[in-house]
Amino acid sequence: MNYEDMTSLQKAAVALVAFGSEVSALVLQGMPEADLEQITVEIANLRDVPPEIEEKVMEECHQIFMARQYISQGGVDFAQSILEKAVGMNKAQEIMKRLESSITTTGFSLLKDIDAKQLTGFLQNEHPQTISLIITQLNPQHAAAVLSELSPELQSEVALRVATMEKIAPEILREIEQTLEGHFERTGTGEMSISGGAKAIAEILNLIDSSAEKNILQSLEAEDPDLAAEIKNMMFVFDDIVLLDDRSVQRLLKEVETKDLSLALKAASEEVRDKIFSNVSERVSVMIKEEMEFMGPTRLSDVEAAQGRIVEAVRRLEEEGQIIISGRGGKEDIIV
């Protein structure tokens, strides 16, 4: 294996293996599915890597991480000057060239440090589509806080637009970016891509207070029932059972058939299994485990269907106020 001949994908595979399984798992979770498949194949095909190549890959990763940090601290020029002092002009230019395609110092990047109330004050008179575009550029927690501050009517309109958003023309993005830069008296350049859709709004609604969430979902159901159902499906998945407190798990299990539970646990994480088994008697635990073993190989579609029925029960019980999902609800819902 020659370091100079290695592709970026091969270097990424070496780096992930060197990072260890826990760190690598976190990195892989955030990857698009297509990239995830490619890097997984590359890791699987990886053979013994000489220590000197691993060291070079890790050094390159460190340099790129530091370059990104310098960019976030003071921009591209600041990063370039710091790197030149650290590794020389040629190496600095090489590192910056690798980052060129992903550097996005834009008007949208200014939003991360702005208080939700202040940002909402700036947005409240904007067109719902403009608000939706900006919402998609915030992290879910920040977006949830901003959405909570909007009026109920505007909440529903913005949520619908985020959920149905597709690619946006570059000239529209540039216009919005210039407005942001002008308002906050900052400058920036670069391209942005908008990522809306049902998953984006589901992540936001998972964090928003319950009254706003119900208002938005009711409006979405009236406007587009299928879309509302898709969003609900993404808001709570089977593995999220670990977010339930013990009393809620026990209440849920009264609504679930043993066969469905056994089937659902066939493809469940160890954490979910532990959560379930810690909330049933030893006799029931043994019975579930025996039934899982008796089933033998099971179609994934059957397992997912059983998990879906349990998720539906969770949603129904939460709507009825009989269970609590950790991290959901507003101040008025807190139990002390």
Give the residue numbers spanning the domain of 52: 3-102
Same domain, 168 and 224: yes
Q: What angle do helix axes 128-135 and 140-149 make, rounded to 10 degrees?
A: 150
Angle at 313 between CA 309 and CA 319, to 5 degrees: 145
Same domain, 155 and 194: yes
Same domain, 90 and 134: no
pTM of the model: 0.39
Final residue of a structural domain among 180, 206, 231: 231
Final residue of a structural domain among 216, 231, 246: 231
Check: CB of residue 188 under 8 Å from CB of residue 110.
yes
The DSSP element (H or E) to which 266 belongs, if any, is: none
Final residue of a structural domain among 102, 125, 147: 102
Same domain, 131 and 192: yes
Give the residue from 160, 300, 139, 130 showing the smallest Cα distance to 225. Answer: 160
Same domain, 134 and 82: no
Joined together, the tokens standing for residue 250 give 């026990």
Interatomic CA distance for residues 249 and 256, integer angstroms:
11
CATH number at residue 324: 1.10.220.30
Residue 182: the pLDDT is 63
Same domain, 285 and 318: yes
**Overall domain count for the chain:** 3
Interatomic CA distance for residues 35 and 9, integer angstroms:
9
Helices and strands (DSSP H and E) totals, the chain: 18, 0
Interatomic CA distance for residues 117 and 54, integer angstroms:
47
163: Cβ contacts below 8 Å, ≥ 6 apart: 196, 197, 198, 200, 201, 220, 227, 231
Residue 253: the pLDDT is 93
The DSSP element (H or E) to which 23 belongs, if any, is: helix 21-29
Interatomic CA distance for residues 144 and 24, integer angstroms:
28
pLDDT (tens digit, 0 to 9) for every residue of the chain, 336 residues total?
677 778 877 888 888 888 777 777 777 766 666 666 677 777 777 767 788 888 888 888 777 777 777 665 666 667 777 778 777 887 777 777 666 544 444 455 556 657 777 778 777 778 888 888 888 777 777 888 888 888 888 888 888 888 887 766 656 666 776 666 666 544 333 333 444 567 767 777 766 666 677 777 888 888 888 888 777 767 777 888 888 889 999 999 999 998 999 999 988 889 999 999 999 999 999 999 999 888 888 888 888 888 888 988 887 888 788 887 765 444 444 443
Same domain, 260 and 321: yes
Same domain, 116 and 77: no
Same domain, 12 and 126: no
